[in-house]
């Protein structure tokens, strides 16, 4: 199958052109059908491509010297969308010059530009930022929203559930992913009114008839169970999701740092490290964020993927691979189909959604 080319913001991220081009080249070596539109400084990109002839033959360069700053306000970045590498990459999707865009730059700016340029799908009030995280099982867990909306009402949460399930079916292969709402307890009486309302809407929609929803709603999940693998999709507002994500990442770093200290504390510990090295290497691989890189803005009328700003070439390659997989499996069409199957009645008649402003995500 011939895939549309992928627009890469080559100037975004902590190291910019070098890592972004190396990542695209690695992805190209793994998948010969990938094609790219590399957006950024032409001289710097051309110089980087000298080391990657396979990528050079599959790429076109769109020259641009202007870059969105890592701490730049989204409101300011929006005004420079036509002159920055990030803005031009997103606009390439809008114009049909690329099938999707990948950037490791400013998350808030990328979300703002993407929403204005691509708009949301019919039936979606607000887009959400979704990412995959490792679990104790053989599959990953999809979590959203991770910072795009500081607030979300019951209607938003139901839409997030539908979008997250569609994404999980692609990345994990589940026909009916298990979806739960993040809460402070699993009992039906726990949580805020919006959580209980969202649970009621999802429960009713699930019971409306077989095949009405391509997901299995199973109530609430607490944050300490996110990585157990019992839930395929965890749904929450961006404020709570961002805090939960940072807590999980911080705990992972704490454990690895603690192990490092323990294994270097004495000669006996160092010998113990050599004996247990295969197990610690497996742990390191499992917790390496580069192996799960590539957060997706779900709900837009186009595919936009956010790579971690500190990702290495392997991480960028994984983000590109996720992007290609979403294109190949027609993510946008799947979400539109599921929303149509859900129907307006199932979403509730609570008027216009009260989603919060676009926020800065952790990725």
The segment with the largest mean pLDDT, out of 132-136, 260-264, 313-317, is: 313-317
- Helices and strands, counts by H and E, the chain: 13, 11
As a whole number of angstroms, the distance between CA 2 and CA 58 comes to 13
As a whole number of angstroms, the distance between CA 4 and CA 258 comes to 45
Q: How confident is the model at residue 143 (pLDDT cuts 50, 70, 90)?
A: very high
Q: Which pLDDT does position 351 carry in this prediction?
A: 38
Q: Which pLDDT does position 31 carry in this prediction?
A: 84
Q: Which pLDDT does position 311 carry in this prediction?
A: 82
Strand order in the sheet with 128-133: 59-63, 36-40, 6-9, 100-103, 303-306, 295-298, 128-133, 141-144, 233-235, 178-182, 216-221
Q: Which pLDDT does position 356 carry in this prediction?
A: 45
The gap from C-alpha 34 to its chain's centroid, in whole angstroms, comes to: 20
Average pLDDT over residues 28-33: 84
pLDDT digits (tens, 9 = 90+) for 182-194: 999 888 888 888 9
Check residue 150 and report its DSSP letter.
Answer: S
Contact 52, 36 (CB under 8 A): no
As a whole number of angstroms, the distance between CA 236 and CA 65 comes to 38
Q: Which pLDDT does position 191 carry in this prediction?
A: 82
* Pairing state between β 141-144 and 128-133: antiparallel
pLDDT digits (tens, 9 = 90+) for 57-100: 899 999 998 999 888 888 898 999 899 999 999 999 999 999 99
Average pLDDT over residues 327-348: 78
Question: Cα dihedral sign for 355, 361, 362, 363?
Answer: positive
pLDDT at 358 over 50: no
Contact 309, 19 (CB under 8 A): no
Q: Which pLDDT does position 245 carry in this prediction?
A: 83
Q: How confident is the model at residue 44 (pLDDT cuts 50, 70, 90)?
A: very high
pLDDT at 147 over 50: yes
pLDDT digits (tens, 9 = 90+) for 105-123: 888 899 999 999 999 998 8
Q: Which pLDDT does position 12 carry in this prediction?
A: 84
Average pLDDT over residues 208-228: 80
pLDDT at 271 over 70: no
pLDDT at 328 over 80: yes
pLDDT at 54 over 60: yes
Q: N- to C-terminal Cα distance for the chain?
A: 31
As a whole number of angstroms, the distance between CA 123 and CA 298 comes to 13
Residues forming a β-bridge with 106 = none
Residues forming a β-bridge with 141 = 133
* Pairing state between β 100-103 and 178-182: unpaired
Grouping H, G, I as helix, E, B as strand and the rest as coil, residue 323 is: helix
pLDDT at 159 over 90: yes
pLDDT at 213 over 70: yes
Q: Which pLDDT does position 343 carry in this prediction?
A: 67
Set out the domains of the chain in order of their start, with CATH numbers: 1-118 (3.40.718.10), 120-299+322-363 (3.40.718.10)
Average pLDDT over residues 199-218: 77
């Amino acid at each position: 199958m011939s895939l549309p080319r992928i627009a890469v913001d080559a100037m975004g991220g902590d190291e910019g052109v070098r890592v972004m081009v190396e990542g695209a080249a690695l992805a190209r070596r793994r998948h010969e059908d990938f094609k790219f539109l590399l957006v950024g400084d032409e001289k710097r990109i051309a110089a980087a491509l000298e080391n990657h002839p396979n990528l050079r033959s599959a790429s076109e360069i769109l020259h641009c010297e202007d870059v969105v700053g890592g701490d730049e306000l989204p409101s300011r970045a929006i005004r420079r969308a036509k002159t920055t590498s990030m803005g031009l990459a997103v606009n390439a999707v809008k114009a049909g010059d690329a099938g999707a865009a990948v950037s490791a730059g400013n998350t808030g700016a990328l979300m703002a530009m993407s929403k204005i340029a691509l708009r949301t799908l019919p039936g979606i009030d607000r887009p959400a930022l979704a990412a995959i995280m490792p679990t104790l099982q053989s599959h990953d867990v999809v979590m959203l929203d991770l910072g795009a909306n500081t607030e979300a009402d019951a209607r938003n949460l139901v839409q997030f559930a539908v979008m997250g399930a569609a994404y999980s079916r692609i990345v994990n292969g589940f026909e009916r992913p298990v979806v739960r709402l993040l809460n402070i307890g699993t009992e039906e009486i726990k949580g805020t009114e919006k959580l209980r309302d969202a649970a009621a809407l999802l429960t009713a929609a699930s019971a409306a008839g077989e095949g009405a929803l391509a997901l299995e709603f199973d109530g609430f999940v607490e944050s300490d169970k996110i990585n157990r693998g019992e839930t395929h999709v965890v749904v929450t507002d961006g404020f709570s999701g961002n805090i939960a994500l940072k807590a999980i990442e911080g705990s992972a770093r704490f454990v690895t740092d603690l192990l490092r200290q323990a294994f270097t504390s004495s000669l006996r510990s160092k010998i113990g490290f050599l004996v247990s090295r295969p197990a610690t290497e497996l742990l390191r691989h499992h917790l390496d964020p580069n192996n799960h890189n590539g957060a997706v803005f779900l709900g837009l009328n186009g595919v936009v993927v956010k790579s971690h700003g500190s990702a290495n070439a392997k991480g960028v390659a994984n983000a590109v691979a996720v992007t290609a997989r979403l294109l190949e499996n027609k993510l946008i069409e799947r979400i539109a189909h599921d929303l149509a199957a859900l129907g307006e009645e199932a979403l509730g008649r609570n008027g216009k959604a009260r989603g919060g402003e676009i926020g800065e995500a952790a990725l």
